[in-house]
């Protein structure tokens, strides 16, 4: 596979057809891979227990009555607001997922069009055609995400059980050894599923296959083209790391300039002017990041579409 030509062609496509940028902005919400569970910070409460205990007639039954009354009052006062907020968040998530998966399919179809038929194509055509694949792309990503979650849960279970049963040194040594092997297996599995997911998405969109058929075809393609598939992923990783490094340098540079301007405004016009400037700067920077990341998403999507076509050609 000529990966240099694939990268060059991907860059040419996003430079020539600017509507791909806007599709990329929408697609980036589902193009970032598997989401991680948030870390819960359960520390920082030590000061609450640092004072010596004082004599009190307060009993556990009093606590239960007070907590029960407080909880009941809270729910009676805010239940409607909480329910409304939950529904609004759920609707927003569904809308974002819908727009993102439709745009993702549209990106794939646009690249395929310019590589084969070269018919007139634009944002509206791409997005409308992408609507046909929303449920299948959503189902594919959900299925693989659930599989990964359950796999990690199964891998973590022996560690938790062993630590609950015993903290002896031999047990800890076994846990560490098992943890290393489980981590290696997890990395290999994530890489394999990431490649298979990228290919399966394109099989669904370009060949109009069902989710199960797309997964099976993607597995077969990875198996017979393992070297090229892995190399495609490694190149993607290298490009992404280079992009993150370059973006970080740019953010430090721009952030330094904005900080300097903010300090100048603060010394000249005091805190309110500086606060207004900071708000405008943060919004402008966020919009710029969204735009740049959208262009990068369009490039990576084009790269994987062209890589898939090359892998398919080699597999025949």
Banded model confidence at residue 283, pLDDT cuts 50, 70, 90: very high
- Asked if residue 99 is part of any domain, the answer here is yes
Compute and round to an integer the Cα radius of gyration of the chain: 26
Which comes out higher in pLDDT, residue 166 or 28? 28
Using an 8 Å Cβ cutoff, are 134 and 175 in contact? no
- Asked if residue 160 is part of any domain, the answer here is yes
State residue 290's pLDDT score: 93
- Asked if residue 211 is part of any domain, the answer here is yes
d(CA 314, CA 27): 28
- Asked if residue 304 is part of any domain, the answer here is yes
Ramachandran angles phi, psi of 33, nearest 5°: 95, -155
- Asked if residue 52 is part of any domain, the answer here is no
Of 145-149, 167-171, 189-193, 311-315, least confident by mean pLDDT is 167-171
The structural domain count of the chain equals 1
DSSP secondary structure of 206-263: HH---HHHHHHHHHHHHHHTHHHHHHHHHHHHHHHHHHHHHHHHHHHHHHHHHHHHHH
- Asked if residue 159 is part of any domain, the answer here is yes
Give the model confidence (pLDDT) of 84-122 as tens digits: 989 999 999 999 999 999 999 999 999 999 998 878 889
Give residue 261's domain range. Answer: 9-31+79-315
- Asked if residue 41 is part of any domain, the answer here is no
State residue 45's pLDDT score: 35
Using an 8 Å Cβ cutoff, are 37 and 310 in contact? no
pTM: 0.81
- The alpha carbon dihedral of 59, 64, 65, 71 has a sign of positive
d(CA 163, CA 290): 44
Using an 8 Å Cβ cutoff, are 252 and 234 in contact? no
Give the model confidence (pLDDT) of 67-77 as tens digits: 555 566 667 77
- Asked if residue 66 is part of any domain, the answer here is no
The label of the residue with tokens 């296959």 reads 209
**Tokens standing for 45?**
């409460």
How many CB atoms are closer than 10 A to CB 3? 17
d(CA 165, CA 157): 12
């Amino acid at each position: 596979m000529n990966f240099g030509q694939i990268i060059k062609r991907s860059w040419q496509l996003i430079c020539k057809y600017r509507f791909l940028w806007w599709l990329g902005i929408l697609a980036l919400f589902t193009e970032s891979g598997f989401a991680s569970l948030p870390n819960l910070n359960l520390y920082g409460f030590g000061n609450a227990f640092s004072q010596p205990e004082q004599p009190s007639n307060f009993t556990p039954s009093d606590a239960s009555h007070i907590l029960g009354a407080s909880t009941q009052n809270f729910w009676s006062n805010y239940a409607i607001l909480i329910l409304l907020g939950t529904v609004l968040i759920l609707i927003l998530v569904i809308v974002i997922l819908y727009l993102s998966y439709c745009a993702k399919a549209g990106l794939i179809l646009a690249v395929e069009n310019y590589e084969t038929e070269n018919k007139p194509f634009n944002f509206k055509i791409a997005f409308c055609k992408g609507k046909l694949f929303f449920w299948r792309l959503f189902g594919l990503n959900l299925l693989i995400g659930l599989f990964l979650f359950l796999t990690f849960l199964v891998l973590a279970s022996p560690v938790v059980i062993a630590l609950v049963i015993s903290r002896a040194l031999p047990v800890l040594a076994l846990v560490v050894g098992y943890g290393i092997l489980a981590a290696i297996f997890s990395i290999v599995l994530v890489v394999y599923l990431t490649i298979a997911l990228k290919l399966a998405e394109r099989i669904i969109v370009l060949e109009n296959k069902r989710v199960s058929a797309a997964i099976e075809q993607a597995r077969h393609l990875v198996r017979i083209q393992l070297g090229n598939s892995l190399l495609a992923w490694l190149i993607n990783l290298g490009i992404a790391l280079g992009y993150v490094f370059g973006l970080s340098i740019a953010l430090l540079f721009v952030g330094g300039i904005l900080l300097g301007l903010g300090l100048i405004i603060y010394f000249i016009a005091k805190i309110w002017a500086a606060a207004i400037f900071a708000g405008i700067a943060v919004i402008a920077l966020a919009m710029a990041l969204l735009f740049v990341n959208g262009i990068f998403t369009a490039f990576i999507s084009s790269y994987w579409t062209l890589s898939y076509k090359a892998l398919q050609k080699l597999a025949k």
